[in-house]
Amino acid sequence: MQDQDHKYRPKREAMTALLHQNGIKNERVLEAFLTVKRHLFLDTAFWDVAYQDSPFPIGQNQTISQPFTVAYMTEIVADNYTKGSKVLEIGTGSGYQAAILAELGYRVFTIERHAELYEKSKQTLEKLRVSLMQRLGDGTLGWISVAPFDAILVTAGSPNAPKALLEQLADNGRLIIPIGNETKQRMSIFHRQGDTIYEHQTHDFAFVPLIGKQGWQP
């Protein structure tokens, strides 16, 4: 099926304007949201609602995150790191967040634990010619062979900050991760400066659980 973008471009513009209204200020981030076609990361049944500021099901009981949430996490990266920086995403899901990061010029690595979602997102990202590295596995252990990373984004809710991810942060690197219980989490930022890691917390969000050796137990 054609991407029907003549129909979706105005909806994407309205979504981006709403993100701006809701506090996303970084111009590069807003530009990326205008460019990446969210509907193509969803089944066609969701195309007409794809530009609402809502999560939607993507199969395996998982969701594509709400655009505001994606923009919020992306803005933390974009405000602190220039193009070419190395970014690891845990929880590829549909591939949308990874595509936004790639659009911003980051070297993106992304890990998904569900084989079906890994395969589907791989097809989507290849079709859209998004350049990144992806793999199937437990993201709570990070990606040791390509570490360290300037930023690590965890797009699922965790009971704590996985030690492996903290260890894979570069100097001046940040781990951005929602921490809390299985229904509500607070966005937490761990900033490595030399041998010290500083933590601060921002707003509440609701993510599906991060399941793995250093997250919620399967």
- Catalytic residues, by residue number, are 65
Mode of pairing for the β-strands spanning 133-136 and 149-154: unpaired
In the complex with ligand SAM, which residue's Cβ is closer, 30 or 98? 98
* Contact pattern for ligand SAM over residues 74 through 113, marking x by CB under 6 A: ----------------xx-xx-xx-------------xxx
Report how far residue 218's alpha carbon sits from residue 213's, in angstroms, rounded to the nearest whole number: 8
Is residue 138 part of the contact set for ligand SAM (CB under 6 A)? yes
- Residue 162, token pair as written in the block: 């996985």
Q: Is the dihedral of CA 190, 213, 205, 91 positive or negative?
A: positive
Q: Residue 29 in contact with residue 75, Cβ under 8 Å?
A: yes
Helix (H) or strand (E) holding 151: strand 149-154
72 and 58 Cβ atoms separated by less than 8 Å: no
Does 128 participate in binding ligand SAM (rule CB under 6 A)?
A: no
Contacts of residue 117, defined as CB under 8 A and 6 or more positions apart, other chains included, come to 58, 59, 60, 62, 92, 93, 94
Shortest gap between Cβ of 63 and ligand SAM (angstroms)?
A: 5
As measured in angstroms, the least distance from the Cβ of 92 to ligand SAM is 6
State yes or no: residue 165 binds ligand SAM (CB under 6 A). no
38 lies in the site for ligand SAM, by CB under 6 A: no
Site string for ligand SAM, 108-127 (x = CB under 6 A): ---xxxx--x----------
Q: Does 173 bind ligand SAM (CB under 6 A)?
A: no
Measured from the Cβ of residue 6, the count of other Cβ atoms closer than 10 Å reads 8
- In the list 16, 62, 124, 185, the residue contacting ligand SAM (rule: CB under 6 A) is 62
Q: Between residue 179 and residue 208, which ones bind ligand SAM under the rule CB under 6 A?
A: 207-208
Q: How many CB atoms lie within 10 A of CB 179?
A: 18
Which residue in 36, 39, 40, 65 binds ligand SAM (CB under 6 A)?
A: 65
Residues near ligand SAM (CB under 6 A) are 62-65, 90-91, 93-94, 96-97, 111-114, 117, 138-140, 155-156, 207-208, 210-212, 215
